[in-house]
Structure 1
Amino acid sequence: MSATTPAARRYHGPIQGLIFDWAGTLVDFGSFAPTQVLIDAFAGFGIRISMAEARLPMGLAKWDHIQALGKQPEVARRWQERFGKPMQDLDVDALYAAFLPLQVERVAQYSDLIPGALAVMVQMRARGMRIGSCSGYPRVVMDRLLPHALQQGLRVDHAVATDDLKAGGRPGPWMALANVIELGIGDVRACVKIDDTVPGISEGLAAGMWTVGLSLSGNETGLTLAELAQLTPSDIETHRAAASARLTAAGAHFVIDSIADLPAAIDAIEARIAAGDQP
């Protein structure tokens, strides 16, 4: 949004809607459900994938994620050595077919709520905000995840899966915009996209929203809550700084540690709106 936008055309009100990612944002501290299952799916084809490699394309739809993994130079080399040819779309289809039932089976196992999620939801609803969400998960996985989250007390007003829309998923704006339509929000500039991945930040920016990145709870740091608790303050700061740098470079307006810190970020965004800023 240009700084020269006439004042009459700028958005001046409060934040109306929050669009959350799921793994690494609301549930699954460290975002392990997607990554570990991808590692296991590739292992079934005799291909070793490291956790760091699995995390690189995180945030994409899972078919796209698998394809992007196969294009990483070292992964492509391993595939070529084992099968004598580069990975093709039919191979991606086969990997996805192996991945999907594993993901459905295991998603709840990894998807405990991230500390602070319930309290933040209560606060944001009390301020009149509607709660949307979207994910790189396909609908069949979301249909397993949503009841598990509800059992823990977490309810969203709308959830979009990556295969719900013909247009596709991240980094395009479509899932975020589908939430805007369903929630009945009149201006995308009244929305905030909260995500732990670079494609998720790109999604929010493409939709014209404010964006908040999560540095410690999600994919960019990639540690469980217990693992993070074992680190020294200096080591935690190293992880925070590296993750924040990547998310900021992607265009995040604010970067916080986890959803527990979101209320302060929303206050800061509303202060910027009151000062005339736009996303």
Structure 2
Amino acid sequence: MNTSPIKAIVFDWAGTTVDFGSCAPILAFQRLFLDQGVAIEVSEARAPMGLEKRDHIAALFNMPRIAEAWQTVHGQPATEADIDRLYQAFIPYQLKAIPQCSDLIPGAVETFQDLRARDIKIGSNTGYASMMMPELIEKAAQQGYVPDCIVTASDVTRGRPYPDMLWKNLMQLGTSDIKTVVKVDDTVVGIHEGLNAGCWTVGLAVSGNEVGMSYQEWQNCTPEKQEQLKAKAHQTMQSSGAHYVIDTIADLPAVLDQIEARLTQGDKP
């Protein structure tokens, strides 16, 4: 077994390791709001992705079009009580959607095997609450993904972009040297979490929120369309401040080679 200067990698879940396109939350948010009489667009539902889900609902209500539509239907602006009520109503929608979108992203298993060979610990965190995770964790394990620890948004006081979930991972993993840690995420707010923690960050452009297509939808795109979508997603993730941007988790080992070389030379994030 090779010992890497990288000691731990903390992965997001949907759009990063599972659920190509990060589709489960979008299905749940759209169904939730539609049943409240307010239809929301996919682009609107995706905009706050990576946040804890109550914060995500609050962010949706901060969008002028959704706020206006809500007031038209319900006769008054959304209140904190409405946000609390919708969050509780959201949970069963999400629990239903997650198992439908639980496949590992192609190349993930091979990347996890590569990390184990380097003796790198595997952490994970998510904007999902803990009660949303059991079936997803089970399905991921059946496909060969068993991270060393899992931290959810309900396990900390502050979700992304605060670094609390990442730091909690490192406490559980027994890793304290932040320059030896890498955060991998498909959302801007997830990259900001890693930057705020002080670690290396790798943004995923194609498999997650920025392209926002299922694997089958992506495969059905023409090469020209794929290149167009990829270029836009790469630009967004690069603008987030990520140290590296790649298409999917399958491309991660080559980036780790570069980070290892930089650490050996004394570089820091």
Aligning the two structures, in what range does the TM-score lie when normalised by the shorter sequence? over 0.9
Query: Who is 1:171 aligned against?
Result: 161
Query: Who is 1:259 aligned against?
Result: 249
Query: Who is 1:183 aligned against?
Result: 173
CA distance in 2, matches of 1:79, 1:113: 36
Residue-by-residue CA offset, 1:167-188 (whole Å, 9 max, x unaligned): 2210100000111110011301
- The TM-score with structure 2 as length reference comes to 0.96
The one of 135, 139, 142 aligned to 1:144: 135
Query: Who is 2:234 aligned against?
Result: 244
CA distance in 2, matches of 1:116, 1:197: 19
Letter in 2 for 1:213: G
Query: Who is 2:187 aligned against?
Result: 197
The one of 43, 67, 78 aligned to 1:76: 67
SS at 1:182 equivalent: helix
Query: Who is 2:19 aligned against?
Result: 28
CA distance in 2, matches of 1:276, 1:190: 11
Structure 1 residue 127, shift from structure 2 partner: 0.2
- The TM-score with structure 1 as length reference comes to 0.93
Residue-by-residue CA offset, 1:190-228 (whole Å, 9 max, x unaligned): 110000001100001111110000000000100111111
The one of 217, 220, 224 aligned to 2:210: 220
The one of 96, 106, 109 aligned to 1:115: 106
Note the residue ranges of structure 1 that are not aligned, 5 or more in a row.
1-12
Query: Who is 2:150 aligned against?
Result: 159
Structure 1 residue 234, shift from structure 2 partner: 2.2
The one of 220, 224, 240 aligned to 1:230: 220
SS at 1:66 equivalent: helix
Note the residue ranges of structure 2 that are not aligned, 5 or more in a row.
none
SS at 2:153 equivalent: coil
CA distance in 2, matches of 1:163, 1:225: 29
The one of 7, 29, 33 aligned to 1:42: 33
Percent identity at matched positions? 48
Residue-by-residue CA offset, 1:213-257 (whole Å, 9 max, x unaligned): 000000010011111112222221211111111111111000000
CA distance in 1, matches of 2:176, 2:23: 35
Q: CA RMSD in A?
A: 1.1
Query: Who is 1:10 aligned against?
Result: none
CA distance in 1, matches of 2:171, 2:249: 24
CA distance in 2, matches of 1:53, 1:272: 39
CA distance in 2, matches of 1:178, 1:78: 39
Is the counterpart of residue 86 in structure 1 residue 73 in structure 2? no
SS at 2:155 equivalent: coil
Residue-by-residue CA offset, 1:69-96 (whole Å, 9 max, x unaligned): 1111111111111122221111111111
Query: Who is 2:54 aligned against?
Result: 63
SS at 2:152 equivalent: coil
Range with greater deviation from structure 2 (262-271 or 228-237): 228-237
SS at 1:221 equivalent: coil
